[in-house]
Chains A and B, each alone.
Chain A
Amino acid sequence: MSTRLANGGRLLDKGRKLDFTFNGTRLRGYEGDTLASALLANDQMLMGRSFKYHRPRGVVASGAEEPNALVGLGEGAAFEPNQRVTTTELFDGLTCTSQNHWPSLNFDIGAINTKLSRFLPAGFYYKMFIHPRPFWKHVYEPIIRKSAGLGRAPDQRDTDTYEHFYAFCDVLVIGGGIAGLQAARAAGAAGAKVLLIEQTAHWGGRAPVDGGTVDGQPVDKFVDELVSELQGMDNVTLRNRTMGAGVYDHGYALGYERVTDHQPKAKGPRHRLWRIRAAQIVTATGAIERPLSFAGNDIPGVMLASAVRDYVVDYGVSIGDRTVVVTNNDDAYRTAIILKKNGLDVPVILDARVPTQDSALMAEAKSLGIRVLMGHAISSVQGGKRVTGVEICSQAGEGAVLEEIACDVVAMSGGWSPVVHLWSHCGGKLIWDEATAAFRPDVDKAPTGATGAPFVTPAGAANGDFLLGDVLRDGNSAGKAAAKAAGHSGAVPAAPSAEEIAEAPMAPVWMMPQGAGIKKRQKAWLDYQNDVKVSDIQLAAQEGFESVEHAKRYTTLGMATDQGKLSNINGLAILSDALGQPIPQTGTTTFRPPYTPISFASITGEARDARFMPVRQTPMYQWHVENGAFFEPVGQWRRPYTYQKPGESVEDAVAREVKATRSSLGMLDASTLGKLLVKGPDAGKFLDMLYTNMMSTLKPGRCRYGLMCSENGFLIDDGVVARVGEDAFLCHTTTGGAESIHGHMEEWLQTEWWDWDVYVANLTEQYAQIAVVGPRARETLEKLTGDDISAEALPFMAWADITLAGLQARVYRISFSGELSYEIAVKASEGRALWDALLAAGASANITVYGTEALHIMRAEKGFIMIGDETDGTVIPQDLGLNWAISKKKEDYLGKRAQERSHMSDPARWKLVGLETVDGGVLPDGAYATAEGENANGQRETQGRVTSTYHSPTLERGIAMGLVLNGPDRMGEVLEFPRLDGTIMRAKIVDPVFFDKDGEKQNV
Chain B
Amino acid sequence: MSNMVSALNGASAKGFVEVRDMGLQGMITLRGDLNAAKLKKAARAVGGADMPEQGHISLGDTGGAAWMSPDELLVLVPYTEVDARLSEIAKAMGDDHHLAVNVSDARCMFGVSGDDALVREALAKLMPVDLSARAFQPGQFRRSRMAQVPAALWMQAEGEARIVCFRSVAQYVFDLLKGATSPGSEVRYLAR
Q: List chain A positions with a Cβ less than 8 A from chain B.
A: 161, 163-168, 195, 237, 239, 266-269, 272, 275, 277, 605-607, 610-611, 613-619, 636-637, 677, 679-681, 757, 759-761, 763-767, 806-807, 827-830, 832-833
Contact = CB atoms under 8 A, between A and B. Distances in A.
B3 A807 contact: yes
Given A617-B171, A761-B29, A164 B125 contact: yes
B185 interface: yes
Contacts of A195: 189
A679 to B, nearest CB: 5
B102 A266 contact: no
B21 to A, nearest CB: 12
A829 B6 contact: yes
A616 B172 CA distance: 8
B117 to A, nearest CB: 13
B176 interface: yes
Interface in B2-54: 3-7, 24, 29, 31-32
A827 B4 contact: yes
A681 B97 contact: yes
Interface in B145-190: 147-149, 166-172, 175-176, 179-180, 182-187, 189
B5 A766 contact: no
Contact of A161 (B71, B135, B179): B179
Interface of B: 3-7, 24, 29, 31-32, 71, 97-99, 101-107, 121, 124-132, 135, 147-149, 166-172, 175-176, 179-180, 182-187, 189
A764 B106 CA distance: 7
Contacts of B166: 616, 765
B167 A163 contact: no
Contact of B99 (A164, A269, A761): A761
Contact of B179 (A237, A611, A759, A760): A611
A615 to B, nearest CB: 7
Counting chain B CB atoms within 10 Å of each CB, the highest count among A269, A272, A275 belongs to A269
Contacts of B147: 605-607, 611, 614
B3 A607 contact: no
B61 to A, nearest CB: 24
Contact of A828 (B130, B149, B167): B167
Nearest to B101: A761
Contacts of B129: 166
Given A165-B124, A606-B126, A615 B99 contact: no
A611 B130 contact: no
Per DSSP, chain B at the interface is loop
B125 A168 contact: no
Nearest to B121: A165
Contacts of A165: 121, 124-125, 187, 189
Given A165-B187, A166-B127, A168-B130, A763 B3 contact: no
A605 B146 CA distance: 13
B3 A830 contact: yes
B31 A166 contact: no
B125 A167 contact: no
29 contacts: A161-B182, A163-B125, A165-B125, A165-B189, A168-B135, A239-B189, A266-B184, A267-B185, A605-B147, A606-B126, A606-B147, A606-B180, A610-B175, A611-B175, A611-B176, A611-B179, A614-B148, A614-B172, A616-B169, A759-B98, A765-B167, A806-B3, A807-B3, A827-B102, A828-B167, A829-B4, A829-B6, A830-B105, A833-B4
A163 B185 contact: yes
B176 A272 contact: no
A765 B168 contact: yes
A617 B168 contact: yes
A763 B100 CA distance: 12
A166 B103 contact: no
Contacts of B172: 610-611, 614-615
Contacts, number: 136
B122 to A, nearest CB: 10
B3 A833 contact: yes
Contacts of A681: 97
A832 B3 CA distance: 8
A681 B99 CA distance: 11
Nearest to B131: A166
B176 A606 contact: yes
Given A166-B125, A618-B168, A766 B99 contact: no
A827 B105 contact: yes
B171 A615 contact: yes
Per DSSP, chain A at the interface is mixed
Contacts of B24: 829
Contact of A166 (B104, B106, B124, B167): B124
A828 B166 CA distance: 11
B185 A268 contact: yes
Q: Nearest 6 A-B pairs (CB), nearest first?
A: A267-B184, A833-B3, A616-B168, A759-B99, A765-B106, A168-B130
Given A165-B125, A268-B185, A606-B125, A767 B168 contact: no
A840 to B, nearest CB: 14
Given A164-B126, A766-B106, 10 more contacts: A166-B125, A267-B184, A606-B125, A611-B179, A615-B171, A680-B99, A759-B32, A761-B101, A765-B168, A766-B105
A746 to B, nearest CB: 10
A500 to B, nearest CB: 38
Nearest to A237: B189
Nearest to B170: A617
A277 B121 CA distance: 15
Nearest to B173: A614
Nearest to A268: B184
Contact of A829 (B5, B99, B121): B5
A27 B131 CA distance: 47
Nearest to A234: B192
Contacts of B29: 761
A841 to B, nearest CB: 15
Nearest to B168: A616
A757 B104 CA distance: 25
B105 A765 contact: yes
Nearest to B185: A268
Contacts of A167: 124, 189
Nearest to A266: B184
Contacts of B107: 765
B148 A613 contact: yes
Contacts of B98: 759
Contacts of B121: 165
A277 to B, nearest CB: 7
A757 B124 contact: no
A724 to B, nearest CB: 11
Contacts of A607: 147-148
Counting chain A CB atoms within 10 Å of each CB, the highest count among B106, B149, B169 belongs to B106
A164 B126 CA distance: 7
Contacts of A617: 7, 168-171
B103 A761 contact: yes
A127 to B, nearest CB: 47
Contacts of A679: 99
Contacts of A275: 128
A349 B180 CA distance: 56
A412 B70 CA distance: 66
Contacts of A757: 97
A163 B128 contact: no
B123 to A, nearest CB: 9
A677 B86 CA distance: 15
B106 A163 contact: no
Contacts of A267: 183-185
Contacts of B183: 267
A308 B131 CA distance: 45
A158 B130 CA distance: 31
Contacts of B189: 165, 167, 195, 237, 239
A828 B172 CA distance: 18
A610 B71 CA distance: 36
A614 B170 CA distance: 9
Nearest to A828: B105
A829 B168 CA distance: 11
A239 to B, nearest CB: 8
